[in-house]
Amino acid sequence: MVERRNYWTRAAVSARIVKWLKNQGGELPPDDPTIVERVLKWLAYRGLARKESGTWKPASPLVNPAALKKVSEDID
């Protein structure tokens, strides 16, 4: 049985769109416009992107990500 969805390529497209959004935003990237719009709407729903006057811009969590700190697990 053949898998209908290829999760690796879907993740790669989403990562490419997020990278584009963080770098420049504005006009849509040169990928398939329907896929790009779907991914950008998904990001907007989660508060990571916003659409202002017809252009897409990254939201604060993408521009200034929180610093992560490693926490040791000391369970007694």
**Residue 74 in domain:** no
**Residue 51 in domain:** yes
pLDDT digits (tens, 9 = 90+) for 27-47: 677 777 888 889 889 999 999
Residue 69 predicted with pLDDT over 80 = yes
| Segments forming the whole domain that contains residue 34 | 7-63
**Residue 24 in domain:** yes
Q: Which of 15-29, 33-47, 50-64 is predicted with the least confidence, judged by mean pLDDT? A: 15-29
Closest by CA position to 45, among listed 35, 33, 53, 37: 37
Structural domains in the chain (count): 1
Q: Which residue has the higher pLDDT, 5 or 25?
A: 5
**Residue 2 in domain:** no
> Which amino acid is present at 48?
L
> Which amino acid is present at 38?
R
Question: What CATH number does residue 22 fall under?
Answer: 1.10.10
**Residue 73 in domain:** no
Q: Which pLDDT does position 65 carry in this prediction?
A: 79
Say what the pTM is.
Answer: 0.70
